[in-house]
């Protein structure tokens, strides 16, 4: 007995031990290979002495607890949120997430741990799900082409406005804005338009813009149905804008589009909106997938990712990302949008909601919503209220002379959230979760207790809708068989499994993607995302209902400020790119507040991530590129020359630390000093924080503002390309310019007249960059739990082990593939760049061949050709174990040996396992085998692979064909024959 007990004691494992893949013994072996005596010595040697952070004495981060305790604490946090029936509307509707989708997508690591589908051969499942999303959006909106998700509706409208400016024949800078636009969209639009010199002109959609307003307007945005619930035919305004050569953007509700004539039917050029109500939980504002779709002729203007169809090497049809050359990572300061991480997981959910319900199911849901709204209108009239609009879909504006506020209060007490407009007016929105009992309860709240309420399902079914008959939808939608083939739960479950089986995600093996930090997304961290107290809160719920959320956000803001050395943090940005934009807009606001209107130049090193330059342009700045020297560091002489040349106009330097070359630059303090001396601000891109956490802080070595990627360093899963959270952290002098929000529950996070600091946190009073006040709060429990379970010590150790892993791979691979850049100590940071250009010269084998051959070995390729063309950037993270790291080394060395065999002439240059990779099962089974190498060499290049083989579903995909022949909707079933 006693011996068993003693053994248990020894088995005590902390969460950090589970999160970190290597054991102390493994680490000692790895340190030997790297040539360092200890983890501590390794990071002391790698990170420049001058920036080492002092050890933390009284951290705000509590001592780590285990998984059970952390979840118990989070339960208590959740308990301080109150879930009421959210009938506020304003672009957010409660929804039933089909359980088959919740369990098999949202809670399934095969979907949520996947990476962005840049390697299409291992991403066919998520690419199919996304082409379903695009088809769903283009069908419902009546547009020719839809992209694969925007960050939210508000930012999608901004993208629509920018697209309209690019595509419009009108050269003016005015944009017409429907006065019935969602208020949060209007706030974002105002903030973003001002930065890029666009003037907004408001008008009433019922009257249309005046001739004076039309003059010089490059486009218009209309809300359909309006924020007030009113349905107005937008076609007359669209015609008038078209007559002058302008572009019409319509922000449309996807569920309403099953009953109403689509934007395409009405002549719009662009449709935007959100797909939230298609089964994606409210989540206190996000994450949800926004959408953007365009008419024929504008597809090459679309921002963000676009899934298309092409063929593989065997002539089979295959999906891929189309027109990637439009994207920010390639076009940099010429990019038209900075969107990188989007909302892929949520787009997959929304598309599957449409697949599951089909066109009839969606119409049924929409009819029920519309009829319940009609019943509710009758009830309100019976209670003496005026129903303000004749045409409506799901939202009523009600006038209760003098008693709107008391009705809203009574509703709150009865468990309902309505939207108070003014002393006389309120709004109420119906959604698919509204049942007749809710109508009965609201009748009592309205004071219609003694009228008969048609409180049965039948009464709802017999009611008409408020949709104007002139706008009845006549065009068909979702006619592709995929939207009617999966009606039973068994079929649906199998379809989801069929798709995820095609894909490679973290649940199969390492994804060593430099710059992307694909680490463990622990099950405990994910647990709370679907708890109703986090999932079913409306973003504009009253403060008293969301105290748990505000506490959690407050914790995170404090913790993240501490670990980065800043004074204040905003979690509002929905992705790293949006954090960049928020930070740069804060810098802009700061300079302008001091009368420095001419400070508009943003210095960016040539090695920077493409989003940096794109964000700078969207913040109204001019990009000036700073050169790098041959060691990959910022060229100090060039930096000094550029700061001198632009001294009067210098707004900021944007620099990534450690650099995108995976190196700790020794001159960082000096670089920051030079920029400050010239009157500029320093933006430190924090995407590589996994190399610093616990060891150095941006704020200490000269940063004024940074964004972090919670979906990299802090364990939010990548979701196949989103969601993300990109908090922006800053010094106190920038706090007033960080993103606030007109509807924020915390007064110190609110913009507008009633903004004030109500705590000890600096107030954020800049304009919003996301539709919801706290961005994507429902995934913040992931980061909260991670920090809570790691503590400062665990986070610090994770950094050390991440740096060890990269240096271990560099040491073992450097003979076969030169490591392009190292720091002064000869060490790399948390990632290393393998130079494959010499290999190509010697053997003709390209970086593409190596990446695709890694698929045959059962690996996801490292980051390809970023930041240097012809290289692979490898980032193992702390979560991988030694066996997996060694498996990767073995694969890379085997590939090197194969390349050498090609060079020796053992295999022809055009027929060898590298250029033919990846190999599908069909390619080795079907027909005569006619290659110079064996079938076994093709598909089992490593020993012991037979039992754990990942089979790619397609062979190498022809990228060029798909761009020349653009098809971005579900292809007909026969096409797969």
CA separation for the pair 775, 769 (Å, rounded) = 9
Q: Please, what is the minimum distance in Å from the beta carbon of residue 611 to ligand PLP? A: 5
DSSP class of 309: E
**Rounded to the nearest 5 degrees, what angle is found at the Cα of 323, between the Cα atoms of 322 and 326?**
140
Shortest distance (Å) from residue 604 CB to ligand PLP: 11
CB nearer to ligand PLP: pick between 237 and 577: 577
Other beta carbons within 10 Å of 757: 16
What is the smallest separation between the CB atom of 325 and ligand PLP, expressed in angstroms?
18
Specify the 3-state DSSP secondary structure of 717: coil
Q: Is residue 273 classed as helix, strand or coil in its secondary structure? A: strand
DSSP label at residue 654: E
Tell the smallest beta-carbon distance from residue 659 to ligand PLP (Å).
9
- Sheet with strand 832-835: strands edge to edge: 832-835, 871-874, 863-864
Residue 158 Cβ, how far from ligand PLP at the closest point, in Å? 15
Residue 886, phi then psi, degrees to nearest 5:
-70, -35
Sort residue 782 into left (φ over 0), alpha (ψ -120 to 50) or beta: alpha
Instruction: Give CA–CA dist 131/135, Å, rounded.
Output: 6
262 vs 611 by CB, closer to ligand PLP: 611
Q: Which is nearer to ligand PLP, 246 or 726 (CB)?
A: 726
Give the Cα separation of 488 and 402 in Å (integer). Answer: 50
Q: Which is nearer to ligand PLP, 160 or 686 (CB)?
A: 686
Name the residue nearer to ligand PLP (CB basis): 226 or 723. Answer: 723
CA dist., res. 619 & res. 375, Å (int): 47
Measured from the CB atom, the residue of 340 and 408 that comes closer to ligand PLP is: 340
* Shortest spacing between CB 88 and ligand PLP, in angstroms: 29
Pairwise CA distance, residues 270 & 160, whole Å: 7
The residue among 611 and 633 lying less far from ligand PLP, judged by its C-beta, is: 611
**In the complex, minimum distance from the CB of residue 719 to ligand PLP, in angstroms, rounded to a whole number:** 11
124 vs 515, beta carbon nearer ligand PLP: 515
Q: What is the DSSP letter of 837?
A: H
Q: How far is the CB of 105 from ligand PLP (least distance, A)?
A: 21
Distance of CA 50 to the CA centre of its chain: 35
Nearer to ligand PLP, 86 or 516 (CB): 516
d(CA 779, CA 574): 11
Please state, in angstroms and as integers, the Cα–Cα distance from residue 740 to each residue in 548, 725, 774, following that order: 20, 16, 9
Q: Which C-beta is closer to ligand PLP: that of 361 or that of 717?
A: 717
Nearer to ligand PLP, 258 or 656 (CB): 656
The sign of the torsion formed by the CA atoms of 413, 416, 421, 424 equals negative
Which residue, 426 or 772, has its beta carbon nearer to ligand PLP?
A: 772
Is there a contact between 468 and 260 (Cβ–Cβ < 8 Å)?
no
In this complex, which beta carbon is closest to ligand PLP, that of residue 407 or of residue 771? 771
* Least Å from the CB of residue 136 to ligand PLP: 24
Cβ atoms 408, 84 nearer than 8 A = no
Q: Shortest approach of ligand PLP to residue 711 CB, angstroms?
A: 6
Contact 354, 278 (CB under 8 A): yes
Report how far apart, in Å, the C-alpha atoms of 605 and of each of 188, 323, 514, 608, 708 are.
29, 26, 18, 6, 19
Answer whether 565's CB lies under 8 Å from 698's CB: yes
Helix (H, G, I), strand (E, B) or coil at 224: strand
Of the candidates 622, 585, 599, which has an alpha carbon nearest to the alpha carbon of residue 730?
585
Give all strands of the β-sheet with 290-294 in edge-to-edge order: 145-146, 290-294, 270-274, 247-252, 217-224, 174-178, 199-203
- Closest separation in Å from C-beta 613 to ligand PLP: 11
Question: Residue 689 or 836: which CB sits closer to ligand PLP?
Answer: 689
Closest CA to 588 of 604, 599, 580, 579: 599
Helix (H, G, I), strand (E, B) or coil at 348: helix
Alpha-carbon torsion (433, 434, 436, 438), positive or negative:
positive
| Rg of the chain over all Cα atoms, to the nearest angstrom | 28
Cβ atoms of 280 and 346 closer than 8 Å: yes
Q: In the complex, which residue's CB is closest to ligand PLP? A: 576
Q: How far is the CB of 392 from ligand PLP (least distance, A)?
A: 37
Residues making contact with ligand PLP (CB under 6 A): 340-341, 515, 575-577, 609, 611, 656, 660, 685, 687, 709, 724, 726
Nearer to ligand PLP, 208 or 686 (CB): 686
Encoded tokens for 118: 């840049």
Closest separation in Å from C-beta 192 to ligand PLP: 16
Residue 2 neighbours by CB distance under 10 Å: 6
* DSSP state letters, 26-60: HHHHHHHHHT-S-HHHHHHHHS-GGGPPPPPSS-S
SS3 content of the chain, % helix, strand, coil (to 5): 45, 15, 45
Which residue number, 389 or 830, has a Cβ lying nearer to ligand PLP?
830
CB of 340 to ligand PLP, least distance (A): 3
Shortest distance, position 707 Cβ to ligand PLP, whole Å: 8
Closest distance of CB 656 from ligand PLP, Å? 5
Q: In terms of CB distance, is 446 or 683 closer to ligand PLP?
A: 683
- What lies within 8 Å, CB to CB, of 238 at 6+ separation is 220, 222, 248, 250, 266, 267, 268
Q: Which is nearer to ligand PLP, 225 or 726 (CB)?
A: 726
Shortest Å distance, C-beta 665 to ligand PLP: 14
Min dist. Cβ of residue 59 to ligand PLP (A): 27
């Amino acid at each position: 007995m006693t011996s068993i007990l003693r053994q248990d004691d020894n088995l005590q494992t902390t969460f950090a031990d589970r999160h970190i893949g290597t054991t102390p013994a493994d680490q000692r072996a790895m340190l030997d290979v790297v040539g360092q005596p200890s983890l501590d010595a390794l990071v002391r040697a790698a990170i420049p002495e001058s920036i080492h952070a002092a050890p933390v004495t009284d951290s705000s981060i509590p001592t780590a607890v285990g998984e059970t305790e952390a979840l118990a604490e989070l339960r208590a946090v959740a308990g301080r949120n109150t879930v009421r029936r959210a009938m506020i509307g304003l672009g957010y509707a409660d929804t039933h997430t089909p359980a088959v989708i919740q369990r098999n997508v949202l809670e399934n690591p095969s979907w949520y741990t996947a990476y962005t589908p840049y390697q299409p051969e291992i991403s066919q499942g998520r690419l199919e799900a996304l082409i379903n999303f695009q088809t769903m959006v283009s069908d419902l909106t009546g547009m020719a082409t839809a992209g694969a998700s925007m960050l939210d509706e508000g930012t999608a409208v901004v993208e629509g406005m920018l697209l309209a400016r690019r595509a419009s024949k009108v050269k003016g800078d005015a944009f017409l804005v429907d006065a019935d636009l969602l208020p949060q969209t209007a706030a974002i639009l105002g903030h973003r338009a001002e930065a890029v010199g666009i003037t907004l002109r408001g008008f009433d959609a019922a009257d249309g813009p005046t001739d004076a307003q039309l003059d010089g307007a490059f486009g218009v945005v209309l809300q359909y149905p309006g924020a007030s619930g009113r349905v107005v035919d937008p076609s007359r305004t669209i015609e008038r804008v078209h007559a002058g050569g302008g572009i019409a953007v319509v922000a449309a509700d996807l569920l309403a589009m099953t009953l109403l004539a689509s934007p395409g039917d009405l002549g719009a050029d662009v449709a935007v909106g959100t797909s939230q109500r298609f089964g994606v939980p409210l989540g206190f504002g996000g994450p949800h997938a926004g959408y953007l779709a365009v008419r024929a002729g504008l597809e090459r203007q679309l921002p963000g990712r676009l899934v298309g169809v092409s063929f593989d090497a065997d002539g089979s049809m295959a999906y891929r990302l189309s027109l990637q050359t439009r994207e920010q990572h390639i076009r940099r300061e010429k990019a038209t949008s900075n969107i990188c991480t989007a909302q892929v997981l949520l787009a997959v959910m929304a598309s599957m909601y449409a697949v599951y319900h089909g066109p009839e199911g969606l119409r049924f849901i929409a009819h029920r919503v519309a009829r319940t709204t009609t019943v509710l209108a009758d009830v309100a009239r019976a209670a003496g209220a005026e129903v303000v609009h004749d045409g409506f879909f799901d939202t009523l504006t009600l006038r209760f002379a003098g008693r709107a506020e008391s009705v809203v209060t009574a509703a709150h007490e009865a468990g309902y959230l309505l939207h108070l407009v003014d002393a006389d007016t309120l709004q109420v929105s119906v959604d698919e979760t509204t049942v007749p009992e809710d109508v009965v309860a609201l009748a009592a709240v309205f004071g219609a207790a003694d009228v008969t309420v048609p409180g049965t399902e039948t009464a709802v079914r017999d009611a008409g809708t408020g949709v104007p008959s002139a706008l009845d939808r006549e065009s068909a939608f979702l006619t592709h068989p995929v939207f009617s083939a999966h009606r039973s739960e068994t079929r649906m479950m199998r379809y989801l499994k069929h798709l995820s089986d095609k894909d490679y995600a973290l649940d199969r093996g390492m994804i060593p993607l430099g710059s992307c930090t694909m680490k463990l997304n622990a099950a405990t961290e994910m647990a709370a995302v679907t708890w109703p107290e986090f999932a079913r809160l409306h973003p504009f719920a009253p403060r008293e209902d969301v105290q748990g959320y505000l506490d959690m956000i407050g914790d995170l803001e404090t913790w993240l400020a501490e670990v980065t050395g800043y004074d204040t943090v905003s979690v509002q940005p929905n992705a790293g790119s949006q954090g960049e934009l928020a930070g740069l807009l804060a810098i802009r606001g700061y300079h302008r507040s001091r009368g420095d209107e001419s400070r508009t130049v943003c210095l960016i090193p040539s090695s920077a991530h493409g989003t940096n330059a794109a964000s700078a342009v969207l913040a109204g700045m001019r990009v000036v590129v700073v050169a790098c020297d041959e060691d990959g560091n910022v060229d100090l002489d060039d930096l000094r020359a550029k700061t001198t040349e632009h001294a009067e106009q210098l707004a900021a330097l944007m620099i990534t630390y450690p650099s995108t070359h995976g190196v700790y630059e020794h001159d960082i303090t000096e670089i920051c000093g030079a920029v400050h001396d010239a009157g500029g601000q320093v933006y430190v891109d924090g995407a590589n924080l996994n190399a610093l956490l616990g060891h150095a802080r941006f704020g200490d070595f000269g940063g004024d503002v940074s964004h972090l990627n919670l979906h990299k360093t802090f364990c939010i899963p990548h979701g196949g390309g989103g969601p993300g959270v990109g908090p922006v952290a800053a010094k106190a002098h920038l706090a007033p310019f960080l993103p606030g929000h007109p509807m924020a529950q915390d007064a110190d996070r609110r913009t507008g007249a009633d903004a004030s600091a109500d705590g000890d946190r600096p107030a954020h009073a800049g304009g919003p960059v996301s539709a919801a006040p706290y961005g994507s709060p429902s995934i913040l429990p992931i980061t909260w739990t991670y920090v809570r379970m790691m503590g400062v010590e665990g986070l610090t150790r994770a950094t050390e082990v991440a740096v060890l892993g990269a240096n271990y791979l560099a040491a073992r691979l450097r003979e076969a593939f030169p490591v392009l850049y190292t720091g002064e100590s000869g060490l790399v940071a948390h990632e290393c760049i393998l130079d494959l250009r010499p290999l190509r010269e010697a053997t003709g084998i390209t970086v593409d061949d190596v990446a695709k051959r890694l698929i045959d070995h059962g690996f996801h390729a490292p980051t390809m050709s970023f930041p240097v063309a012809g290289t692979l950037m490898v980032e193992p993270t702390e979560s991988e174990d030694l066996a997996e790291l060694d498996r990767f080394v073995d694969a890379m060395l085997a590939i090197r040996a194969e390349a050498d065999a090609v060079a020796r002439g053992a295999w022809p240059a055009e027929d060898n396992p590298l250029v033919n990779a990846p190999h599908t099962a069909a390619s080795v089974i079907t027909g005569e085998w006619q290659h110079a190498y064996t079938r076994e060499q093709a598909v089992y290049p490593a020993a012991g692979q037979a039992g754990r083989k990942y089979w790619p579903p397609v062979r190498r995909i022809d990228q060029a064909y798909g761009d020349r022949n653009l098809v971005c909707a579900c292809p007909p079933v026969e096409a797969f024959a």
